A and B are shown apart, each in its own frame.
Chain A
Amino acid sequence: MAITAPDTTANGTAVSQTKGPLRRALDRFFENRAARAGLLIVIPILLAVSTYPLWWPFGPNAIDLRAMNKAPSAIHWLGSDGVGRDVMARLLQGRRISLLVAVCSVAISTVIGFLIGAIASFGGRLVDGTVMRFVDLAMTLPPVIFLLVLASIAGTGIAPTILVISLLSWPVLSRMVRARLLELRERDFVVAARGMGAGLPHLLLRHGLPNCIDILVVYATLQIANAILLEAGLSFLGLGIAPPEASWGNMLNLARSTVVLEKYPWQWMFPGAALVLTVLAINFIGDGLRDAFDPRSDLN
């Protein structure tokens, strides 16, 4: 569960005080060279992934037993695999699946994490105690076991993989949200709202959510990178996306065979490079966002 450290390279220059906080955060974000580089990598990737069936002649699952294990060429830019499927098409489809899994699982875990953290902080002492022990329990559970058992219950495929990854990653977020909201709870405007009889949903959505948005955004971007790695790892253990569906994990899984590792390097090198590049870019963006939302960065 790699959570990258705050990077203070974002060197926010003096910004006019008339701009709103969100605007200033965005300005700071675009000042950040690494974050800009991240965006420059991610945007073309997203474009390619969403449009590739329109301009790429091969489908990800179209086999061709006469063109097995072909090296990169003008026809197959990134070569072909063990049943003659086009590596480029599978790479793009795999990226589509990996991103789908990552985005969905992060969305789910963000919602769970926020709700649990928020309920703990606003629900009173008893609720807080119970919920937080539950969170502790989820964190004590060795991730290895949780991962393996959950994956074997849920089975393989896209939906189960999303489920497994989201159930695995929410506890950290709910702790951060709780810490933030506990402090918020005692502030005047929240006390006032409660005094006027505001219900829990109102408190959460009107006051809780806006005040946690920075935590959520940063968590979500960084967690997307983690989810991509986790998906690849699960598929490597045979628990994630099952072949023949393309995913980075099961494309990289081919490298387990010495023949592929040695003689057909294009079958694992390209997906490997694509994975590292994408995760790298998302990490850059996440770091940029974290700095941008850090109110102290203007002071540096």
Chain B
Amino acid sequence: MLSFIARRSATGLLMLVALSVLIFILLRLAPGDPIDAYINPSVPMSASDLEGLRERLGLDRPLPVQYLAWLGAALSGDFGFSIQRSGVAVLPLVMERIGPTALLMGTGLAIAIVLGISAGIFSAVRRNAPSDIALSVLSFVGISSPAFLTALLGLYFFSVLLRWAPSGGMQTAGAPFSTTDVLAHLILPACLLSIGHAALIMRYMRASLLEVLNQDYVRTARAKGVREFWVIIKHATRNALLPVITLIGSTVGIAIGGAIFLESVFNWPGMGLLLVNAVGTRDYPVIMGATLVIGVCVILVNLLTDVVYAVVDPRIQVA
């Protein structure tokens, strides 16, 4: 197990370097640089001033030189400063965003897991009954709805019309920090976020439980006279959870990147919003830093999923 983890960490490190090269090249291919993002085309400025800025940022050096300079600094833990926010260092800026994103994603996923798994079990047990069909159709609608549309509609109905929840942000501006305040801001986006995930988890849970219910050991349990409720809860569900765990694992990996649509509609100060913003303003150091942090998280989560999987299912060997 230890050598497995060591080997995966080594490839992970190489992968991160490759990732940074890839993003660096992609970024420089995109039209417009940070200075171009700075110019408001409607407000006249002097072009010679901008040249000065470009020089100061080192954007006029050859690309390999710029990359190596970045890599050298990054290896020593220095990810530079955000170009578009005076004086803000990249690493703290990115790290600051992990919390809110984890909070939103964690809550959303937790709601989705509870809803999805219970609906999946319910649906599988009542297979082909009207309630199963209704739930299935509902879950398909959930999967088929674009995230940005549900976000917009949710915002409009629950915040603007009904005023049940604040319209955006993570805390009331100007108020001192309080948990209830954060929870009030969290609940609406988290619920909206959970819709799609819950639908997906439900589909998986239902299918996997149906498959397990057909297997010999479940029949044996039934034949032994174990009550149907316990058959489902104790014998079947536990085994049916395996593929669902894989699904949740891969979702968590992606989730670190933030929910761009929800975060932009709800102004949630998470990773997704940071990235949309940074790409929009060509804030190279922030994009590079954020990509790497997300990359590290994805690699770690994948590793963790494999390990958890091995622990849950002793048949799987990691070597």
Contact = CB atoms under 8 A, between A and B. Distances in A.
Interface in A144-171: 144-146, 148-150, 152-153, 155
B22 interface: yes
B225 to A, nearest CB: 25
Nearest to B26: A149
Contacts of B121: none
Interface of A is mostly: helix
A232 B145 CA distance: 10
A133 B207 contact: no
B295 A142 contact: yes
A149 B276 CA distance: 10
B103 interface: no
Nearest to A296: B211
Interface stretch (A47-55, A112-120, A276-284): A276-284
A133 B146 CA distance: 32
Nearest to B132: A9
Interface in A117-141: 133, 136-137, 140-141
Nearest to A222: B143
B23 A133 contact: no
Given A252-B149, A276-B145, A137 B18 contact: yes
A255 B265 CA distance: 12
Contacts of B287: 145, 149
Nearest to B261: A233
Interface residues of A, number: 46
Interface of B is mostly: helix
A232 B146 contact: yes
Contacts of A264: none
Interface string B141-171: 1011111110011001000100000000000
Interface string B130-147: 000000100011011111
A77 B275 CA distance: 41
A255 B285 CA distance: 33
A149 B260 CA distance: 14
Given A5-B200, A136-B15, A252-B149, A279 B210 contact: no
Given A5-B208, A229-B144, A261-B152, A145 B203 contact: no
Given A4-B143, A256-B152, A284-B140, A142 B207 contact: no
Contacts of A262: 156
A136 B147 CA distance: 26
Contacts of A5: 200, 203-208
Interface in A252-274: 252, 255-256, 258, 261-262, 268, 272
Contacts of B205: 5
A276 B214 CA distance: 33
A284 B203 CA distance: 12
Contacts of B30: 149, 152-153
B298 A140 contact: yes
Contacts of A18: none
A153 B214 contact: no
Given A143-B257, A144-B272, 9 more contacts: A5-B205, A7-B136, A141-B22, A141-B23, A149-B27, A232-B146, A252-B148, A261-B156, A284-B140
Interface of B: 11, 15, 18-19, 22-23, 26-27, 29-32, 127-128, 136, 140-141, 143-149, 152-153, 156, 160, 196, 200, 203-208, 210-211, 214, 254, 256-258, 260-261, 264, 271-272, 275-276, 279, 287, 290-291, 294-295, 298-299
Interface of A: 1-2, 4-9, 34, 133, 136-137, 140-146, 148-150, 152-153, 155, 225, 229, 232-233, 236-237, 252, 255-256, 258, 261-262, 268, 272, 275-276, 279-280, 283-284, 300
10 contacts: A4-B143, A5-B203, A34-B136, A137-B18, A237-B260, A237-B276, A262-B156, A275-B144, A283-B140, A283-B143
